[in-house]
Amino acid sequence: LAAPGVRCDLLLADAGLAGLDGVLAAARALPACRLALLTNLTESDPSLTPAGADAVLVKPATRAGMAALLLQLFAPERPGGGQRPAAPQFPGVRILLVEDHPINQEIAVALLQACAIEVELAVNGRDAIDCLRADDAARRYQLVFMDLHMPELDGHAATLQLRQDPRLAALPIIAMTANALPEEWQRCKREGFNDRISKPLIPAALHRLLQQYLPASGHAVAGARAASVAMALPDTVPGLDLAQARASVNGNEALLLKVLRWFRRDEQDCAARIRAALERGDHAAALRHAHALRGLA
């Protein structure tokens, strides 16, 4: 940072880094360099203020969290505070969503319906195959979003079977997964997936995929201010990144409140379920619970 000619627009440093004060001081000497800290604490923790950081990214870092951080630092004029970004419109389009978790279903359906898309739901790979082997499936569906990890028949096995049907050769199938590792994507490409999207869903990434694989839409609907809900969400909640949560539902406060209630109801014992599975040696179940939690959080 002290070398001549160095330019840095953003310094992202671990809050526990040894010698952090010196690193921040060097970054502050650079013109227009913004400072962000990686931390296990929440954004509202007052102890972060003396360090001179402009923003905080809560660990583990996610794509949604990083996108929100960049918008906060470099595009603060973007819609916020309940104002939803414009959603591309695809009237007359029908998509098959293959997803087993109710919370992920609720979020994905809401985001797709905001794009004027008709959504049909399959809860596992076997259901998806039944839907897509119907005589009119190639005309009925314009796109498939396929979760990879589901009971009965997972997305990997389902897509391998579907790609054996020549009628579905041109149907785009998008993998949905919380596992963003390169080897996972290489496997998906071999199995016949056209593309992938990470969970939790990021609305902007979803919109880009829709625009890439669906006929061009004539217009986008500007976001309206989120409708008031019976119990308004506070600005901050300890341990919860509300800015990222709001971004994940495109500013839909009513939807966010609904899925948070479901999450508290269904996942409050997730750590106990993982621990119990490990204690009885059921590593597959422990991995399944952890993967589902990662896809939600």
pLDDT tens column, 129-155: 999 999 999 899 999 999 998 888 999
Quote the mean pLDDT of the chain: 80
- In the predicted model, what is the mean pLDDT of residues 179-208? 88
Instruction: Classify residue 292: in a domain, yes or no.
Output: no
The band of 21, judged by pLDDT with boundaries at 50, 70 and 90, is confident
Instruction: Classify residue 192: in a domain, yes or no.
Output: yes
Instruction: Classify residue 295: in a domain, yes or no.
Output: no
CA–CA distance, 169 with 152 (Å, rounded to integer): 24
Amino acid in position 52: G
Q: List, for residues 94-125, the tens digit of each pLDDT value.
A: 999 999 988 889 989 999 999 999 999 999 99
Q: Is the pLDDT of residue 196 over 90?
A: yes
State how many domains the chain has: 2
Structure pTM? Answer: 0.64
Instruction: Classify residue 273: in a domain, yes or no.
Output: no
Instruction: Pick the closest to residue 214 from 88, 108, 83 (CA basis).
Output: 88
The answer to whether 146 and 98 are in contact (CB under 8 A) is yes
* Interior/surface letters 103-138, b for 16+ CB within 10 angstroms, e for the rest: bbbbbbbbbbebbebebebbbbbbbbbebbeeeebb
* Residue 142: per-residue pLDDT: 96
Cis peptide before 60 (omega within 30 of 0): yes
Give the domain range for residue 176. Answer: 87-221
CA–CA distance, 197 with 188 (Å, rounded to integer): 12
* Residue 81: per-residue pLDDT: 43
Residues 92, 53 within the same domain: no
Dihedral of alpha carbons 115, 121, 126, 130, sign: negative
**How would you classify the pairing of strands 34-39 and 195-198?**
unpaired
